Chains A and B, each alone.
Chain A
Amino acid sequence: MAREFRLAVHPSDRILLGLLALAAAVALLRWPAVGEELSTLVAIQMGLLVAFSIYSAAAARWQQSAWVQSLRPLATVAVVFTLYTSLGKLGVAAMPYLADGWLSRADNGLLGFDPSLAIQRFQTPAWVEFFSFVYGAFIPYIYLSMFLGCLGRPPLERGQFLTGWVCTYTISYLGYIFLPAHGPVVYQAQQYDVALQGGLFYRLVVLGNEAAGGLQGVFPSLHVGCSVYLCLFDVKTNRLRGLTYLPIVLLIYVATIFLRYHYVIDLIAGSVIPVACVALGERTFLLWARDRRAAGLPALPGGEADDLPGLSGDGAARAALVLSSH
């Protein structure tokens, strides 16, 4: 039964189901102690878990269907981004501690000074505006990358891409839940000489953060984690696109510190996780496809790419696309 479940359900769906189950369990376990504050989050997490379980069951049941291949990225991205707005809150509300103090001390221990305070003299309105633009550029970058990455890749590569991406978010969300923090902009608010001043882009970033549920969920930095993952995967499979965004990804590192949203330790963790997840996604998905083939099923749902390559991922170039292009 467990084996059948494992072979039928896409690895990214399984990973996400595991995360949703964990988040729901944390919410339920802490609900009696925390009380009213968690009620909405319990409902959200339970709702997400039930909805995604139904979707996963349907996707496994009709795995050969073309609509499942098209719907999967959409459902996955929708759930992952919903969690982005809820898990930070869950961690802060459910855990009886905040990790800001530890993260700040880790920065001081690593560098010998507090980087967030040390760069204050460079935080002119012009630079704040520039880095706000960079910080905001993350949003179109990930949406475009997910659109191109989930639709314009060969099936095997697409599965690996999605699995690795879900791994990146899942591991990072564990940090959001178990190491809840608000970031330097809240934790060290009293220590800054002046508040940041910027223009339109800065206001947009602030509004965007508020709309996403406020500054909760800091460790590790998913701005860094997600953009590094997308960039690395592209460098491996479509070098020109990967290199096109490399400067923006590097500037995102600076922007997260500059705008006081992250500690340096968040960036370090946010760099290590995607590097591991590129390889993890590739291998997990390929092993799943091989196991399916060994069990007499089509290697990939829909029967695509039966001729599986080595772990490098080469060789599936001629397999069919969800949405091909010229």
Chain B
Amino acid sequence: MVRLALHLFFRRIEVEARHNIPPAGPVIFAPNHTNALVDPLLLVIAMRRVLTLTAKNVLGKNPLLRWLMSATGVVTFHRREDTGRGADLRQNVRSLQICRNILARGGAVCIFPEGVSHSDPGLRAFHVGPARLALDFVRKDGNPGGVRIVPVGLLYTEKDRMRSGVWLRFGDPIDVAHWLNERPDAGAAELTAELQRRVAELTLNYESRRESAVLTWAAEIVATEGRQPSPLGWSDRPVAEWFRLLARLQAGYAGLCVTQPELIEELTVRIRRYRAQLKRAGISPAEVYLPIHFGRAAFFVIRELELLVIGAPLALFGFINHAAPYYLVKWLARKLSKDKDHWASNIVFPSLLVFPFFYLVQLAAAWLLLPPLWAGVYTVALPYTGYYALLYADRLPQTWRRARTFVRFLFRRADQRALAG
């Protein structure tokens, strides 16, 4: 169910270096934390071993989450910053012991070293918890064969938007016993620093939101490579490729900031102006290079009309049958989300209850009211048309935007020349 929900929410989920996940033996996964409850779920579905999650105890104030956490064996930690909200730091001794027991059985534990989900442009300072747990496990519990810590990077293209992309990166594991052998005097602070450095290498960290925004806009422009856009329906560009481009731009940006800061200012102004122009015109950067070619346009019309006309009844059926749970979940997400990093969680988690509930009601009604053959057809058609409506809803705006851009450039060639120049 969780896997399905995540694959519906995200258009692409890409995993890098799955081979860095130890197939057996004690291991601590240490990811960055920018998308609340979705982060741990992504980790769970990305690996083929049982993973024990950890969470802050205040999440248990929500009765539904408390039940869910208890049912899935989540270990809760009490944070210093939550002491006024029911946190009791002494409880952490017990939580740490539970984690050590899991590790002693050769299990896997996930701890978010930042301690909180956030929308900051960079990593927050890491807590020493994961490092301390690993060191205690090796030193005090006498497990020289050792635990490993796997740094994890979670990168989202637009974490608060449905049908966006996510890149899950597993870094080289730190063999804690080996690491200690090389640094006999090192403690939790040093291991934490090492872990933070490794997670930082797996993620994109910006100085400011402004830098993040400017580099994202620049990447959108650079990604076009000045070429005509791919036809609609072709495979999306891999999410990994997008983030690698961003990383390259960031490296260049950092270099220029030192050597030619005035150039950075000038570029920023130009990028901002260009983006504003595109936004006003409702054109995506990739479509600036759309060729004005009637043969291609005719092919486009045949291909898109075929899909839009033949697919319309299916999409409409899917939409009608899923509109109620869809809008209910969206309404709930709007009510519950106070910031960007909870939006996806507030879509995914309620969906796990709302959609099955509606399916149950609709299918019960179908089997009560319709002859068995039609009820069977409806049962099969419900998930199929729901998924179809989702894909159709992805495609329709793209088709409309591309057609509109073509018509605009057809009648105002100067606009295209100005934007492409």
Contact = CB atoms under 8 A, between A and B. Distances in A.
Interface stretch (A8-16, A37-45, A317-325): A317-325
A148 B267 CA distance: 42
Contacts of A314: 235, 238
A240 interface: yes
A80 B232 CA distance: 29
A244 B311 contact: yes
A325 B233 CA distance: 11
Contacts of B395: 240
Contacts of B235: 237, 314, 317
Given A152-B303, A244-B310, A326 B402 contact: yes
Nearest to B295: A323
B391 A239 contact: yes
A239 B233 CA distance: 8
B400 to A, nearest CB: 12
A246 interface: yes
A241 B307 contact: yes
A321 B311 CA distance: 25
B391 A325 contact: no
Contact of B303 (A239, A318, A325): A325
Nearest to A248: B310
Contact of A326 (B227, B238, B297): B297
Contacts of B238: 314
A318 B384 contact: no
Contacts of A325: 231, 296-297, 299-300, 303
Nearest to B231: A325
A154 B234 contact: yes
Contacts of B291: 324, 326
Contacts of B310: 244-245
A317 B234 CA distance: 7
Contacts of A237: 235
Given A151-B299, A325-B303, A326-B402, A240 B227 contact: no
Contact of A244 (B230, B295, B307): B307
Nearest to A326: B300
Contacts of B387: 243
A124 interface: no
B370 to A, nearest CB: 18
Interface string B299-334: 110110011001100100000000000000000000
B352 to A, nearest CB: 24
Chain B interface, >50% SS class:
helix
B289 to A, nearest CB: 11
Interface centre among A144, A154, A238 (most CB of B within 10 A): A238
A317 B232 CA distance: 11
A247 interface: yes
B388 interface: yes
Nearest to A245: B310
Nearest to B299: A325
A245 B307 CA distance: 9
Given A239-B391, A240-B395, A152 B311 contact: no
The secondary-structure label for the interface of chain A is helix
A204 to B, nearest CB: 20
A64 B391 CA distance: 38
B203 to A, nearest CB: 25
A144 B310 CA distance: 13
Contacts of A321: 231
Given A239-B391, A241-B307, A152 B384 contact: no
Given A154-B234, A240-B391, A326 B406 contact: yes
A237 B232 CA distance: 12
Interface in A197-241: 237-241
Nearest to B232: A326
Contacts of B388: 240, 243-244
Contacts of A239: 391
B229 interface: yes
Interface residues of A, number: 24
Interface residues of B, number: 36
A148 B307 contact: no
Interface string B154-194: 00000000000000000000000000000000000000000
B231 A326 contact: yes
B391 A238 contact: no
B231 to A, nearest CB: 5
B240 to A, nearest CB: 12
Contact of B311 (A148, A151, A240, A317): A240
Nearest to B290: A326
Nearest to B312: A244
B241 to A, nearest CB: 10
A124 to B, nearest CB: 15
Interface in B391-420: 391-392, 394-395, 402-403, 406
A151 B388 CA distance: 25
Given A240-B392, A317-B230, A152 B314 contact: no
A318 to B, nearest CB: 7
Nearest to A238: B233
A243 B307 contact: no
Nearest to A239: B391
A326 B392 contact: no
B231 A324 contact: yes
Interface in B116-157: none
B228 interface: yes
Contacts of B231: 152, 321, 324-326
B227 A318 contact: yes
A266 B391 CA distance: 33
Contacts of B384: 243, 246
Nearest to A321: B231
A325 B229 CA distance: 9
B230 A152 contact: no
A247 B291 CA distance: 35
A71 B24 CA distance: 56
A148 B306 CA distance: 11
A147 B302 CA distance: 10
Contacts of A151: 299
Interface in A224-279: 237-241, 243-247
Contacts of B229: 326
A314 B237 CA distance: 10
Interface in A267-326: 314, 317-318, 321, 323-326
Contact of A318 (B230, B232, B290, B314): B230
10 contacts: A144-B302, A147-B302, A148-B302, A241-B233, A243-B391, A244-B314, A323-B299, A325-B231, A326-B403, A326-B406
Interface of A: 144, 147-148, 151-152, 154, 237-241, 243-247, 314, 317-318, 321, 323-326
A-B CB proximity, top 4 nearest: A325-B299, A326-B300, A325-B300, A244-B311
